[in-house]
Amino acid sequence: MDGQRSCADDGGKRPARRAAGKGAPPDARRAESGRHAEATGPGRLYLVATPIGNLEDITFRAVRMLQEADVIAAEDTRQTRKLLNRYGIGGTLVSYHEHNKRTSGPALVNRMLAGQSVALVSDAGMPGISDPGEDLVRLAVEAGIDVVPVPGPNAALSALVASGLKAVPFLFAGFPPRGRRQLAEALKRLRELEETLVFYEAPHRLAATLAAMRDVLGNRRIAVARELTKVHEEVFRGTIDEALARLGEQPPRGEYVLVVEGRTGEGGSAGGRTGGGADDDPPDGASGPWWSALGLAEHVRHYEEKEGLTRKAAMKRAAEDRGLSRRDVYQALLAERDVADRDGASPE
């Protein structure tokens, strides 16, 4: 127990910092009446979920909290202003994001200690999930400030429930690491888990991440959820190979969540793996195909260097080994090279 006094079931009776006038919704008036009981305590931090695309995805309570908070701390104030305008909310906006959190965070804590209520919103969805909100919550908890979730949309859960894969248990892994090696290591740590795995990923990294998943996890079933709740919403369901092939036809655009089936059965993954099965990349000390410890680029280079094949032929051989199409290999290599360039690692 951390001694927090926040309670989730107060029926909307939390203190309102702004006058809730005649025209205010009944809940707001109730909140007003409960104000004095808590006026002496420190202000609160409200984690207010906002839409992940469709602006209608917001709760009555979230709107009320945004109306009543003394300050709205937003990751992107311009984005949040659009939302506030849509609902006719004035509100004082301050910015709180990855690049100013070291100064903005303590300033917000001081406001709350002085009795102001702060509504934290992220760019989209539930603040604190793969965004700097987590750090502000930590600061607030350390300062003894009540932290109150105001739940609502979240990309990971939306993708999970629409995936068609087992929703419980699941493991939310956030954004996978950027470096190729770190990515492979992170996936290896997840490989034995039976939980459905949920990741966020940026479009320009999608192919490399899928290729690494194919390498490390095997050809599992996957749902690739894109642009949820937006005009171009789409959930692709298939195997990782099929997802890779699709990327070849339709270059990635927009925001993505990847939902990957957990390990199933006796040492294998659901989709199996052409040319070796899901155990191709075995635990340390176990045997597996000779290329199992290699990245895709190393695998191709092996054929070029050791067998004197042309690049095209080497890619074909690596594709056959891994049960991929040549186009998948090509796309994945391009993406790996992009990632290596961006991370300053030397491309293989």
By beta-carbon proximity to ligand SAM, the closer residue of 201 and 261 is 201
By beta-carbon proximity to ligand SAM, the closer residue of 149 and 282 is 149
Burial (CB < 10 A; 0-12, 13-18, 19+), residue 246, is middle
Is the distance from CB of 193 to CB of 171 less than 8 angstroms? yes
Task: Provide the sign of the torsion angle of the four alpha carbons 334, 278, 224, 255, taken in this order.
Answer: negative
Edge to edge, what strands does the sheet with 196-201 contain?
170-174, 196-201, 256-260, 221-226, 234-239
By beta-carbon proximity to ligand SAM, the closer residue of 170 and 200 is 200
Is the distance from CB of 198 to CB of 159 less than 8 angstroms? yes
Supply the minimum distance, in Å, between the C-beta of residue 212 and ligand SAM: 16
Longest dimension (CA), the chain: 82
**Residue 56 and residue 61: Cα distance in Å, rounded?**
13
Looking at 103-111, 122-130, 185-193, 323-331, which segment touches ligand SAM (CB under 6 A)? Answer: 122-130
Shortest-Cβ-distance residue relative to ligand SAM? 125
- Is residue 131 near ligand SAM by the rule CB under 6 A? yes
By beta-carbon proximity to ligand SAM, the closer residue of 54 and 182 is 54
Supply the minimum distance, in Å, between the C-beta of residue 291 and ligand SAM: 30
Which residues from 255-314 bind ligand SAM, rule CB under 6 A? 255-257
Q: Which helix (H) or strand (E) holds 36?
A: helix 35-38
DSSP 56-80: T---HHHHHHHHH-SEEEESSHHHH
Q: Within 10 Å of residue 295's Cβ, how many Cβ atoms?
A: 20
- Is residue 129 near ligand SAM by the rule CB under 6 A? yes
Applying CB under 6 A, what is the total number of residues that bind ligand SAM? 24
Supply the minimum distance, in Å, between the C-beta of residue 317 and ligand SAM: 34
Amino acid at 255: E
Supply the minimum distance, in Å, between the C-beta of residue 269 and ligand SAM: 23
Supply the minimum distance, in Å, between the C-beta of residue 231 and ligand SAM: 11
Number of helices followed by number of strands (H, E) in the chain? 13, 12
Radius of gyration, alpha carbons of the chain: 24
Supply the minimum distance, in Å, between the C-beta of residue 190 and ligand SAM: 17
- Is residue 198 near ligand SAM by the rule CB under 6 A? no
* Among 65, 56, 71, CA closest to 27: 65
- Tokens for 14, please give them: 């939390």
- Measured in degrees and rounded to the nearest 5, phi and psi for residue 225 equal -100, 125
**Residue 10 and residue 314: Cα distance in Å, rounded?**
65
By beta-carbon proximity to ligand SAM, the closer residue of 131 and 215 is 131
Lay out the site mask for ligand SAM across 218-247 (x = CB under 6 A, - = otherwise).
-------xxxxxx-----------------
Q: Which of 80, 117, 130, 269 binds ligand SAM (CB under 6 A)?
A: 130
Looking at 12-20, 165-173, 200-208, 282-290, which segment touches ligand SAM (CB under 6 A)? Answer: 200-208
- Measured in degrees and rounded to the nearest 5, phi and psi for residue 25 equal -60, 155
Q: Which of 48, 52, 118, 340 binds ligand SAM (CB under 6 A)?
A: 52
Supply the minimum distance, in Å, between the C-beta of residue 155 and ligand SAM: 3
Residues that bind ligand SAM (CB under 6 A): 52-53, 122, 124-126, 129-131, 154-156, 200-202, 225-230, 255-257
